[in-house]
Amino acid sequence: MSDKKCPNCGYQIDSWNDCVSVNNILECPECEEHFELKAVALNKPQLTIPKSIADELDEEIEEAYSNDYIRSYSDVGAYMEAITDGLDEDSELYKFMFPDNDALLGCSHRNIIYLYLVDNDLVKVVEG
């Protein structure tokens, strides 16, 4: 069942394709009145990464750049390889990437790191 209704007459619209549309102005097939199709804001879940992890990632990347292990045109795989190659198993970043007894959580964390490396605007840095 559709929840699309004409705001003028309340006519239940099966599909927006039932309406005549010009520049997002629709015409109801029942009352023939015009109304504007407005975008609805969706609540998107926000991926987060702790600030301490983001800081450690940034340090690892800076070190990899300075040692010429990666270049600005390197892909994310090269970044991850440079980060994990010299990573201390006692570091907070290592424990975030490879948590004990939880491979699925570690995979999720590494995917968040991939997104952070691609574009840090995709992941919100939070305290913790």
Confidence tier at 102 by pLDDT (50, 70, 90): very high
105-119 pLDDT, tens per residue? Answer: 999 999 999 999 888
Rounded CA-CA distance 20/18 in Å is: 7
Cα-Cα-Cα-Cα dihedral sign, residues 117, 103, 49, 91: negative
In 3-state terms, what secondary structure has residue 26? strand
pTM of the model: 0.60
Q: What CATH architecture is 1-40?
A: Single Sheet (2.20)
Asked whether the predicted pLDDT for residue 69 surpasses 90, the reply is no
Rounded CA-CA distance 76/63 in Å is: 16
Asked whether the predicted pLDDT for residue 15 surpasses 70, the reply is no
- Domain locations along the chain: 1-40, 48-126
Indicate the helix (H) or strand (E) that contains 64.
helix 51-66
pLDDT given at position 22: 67
Alpha helices per DSSP H over 15-102: 51-66, 76-85, 92-97
* Tokens matching residue 78: 């090269």
**Rounded mean pLDDT of 91-110?**
93
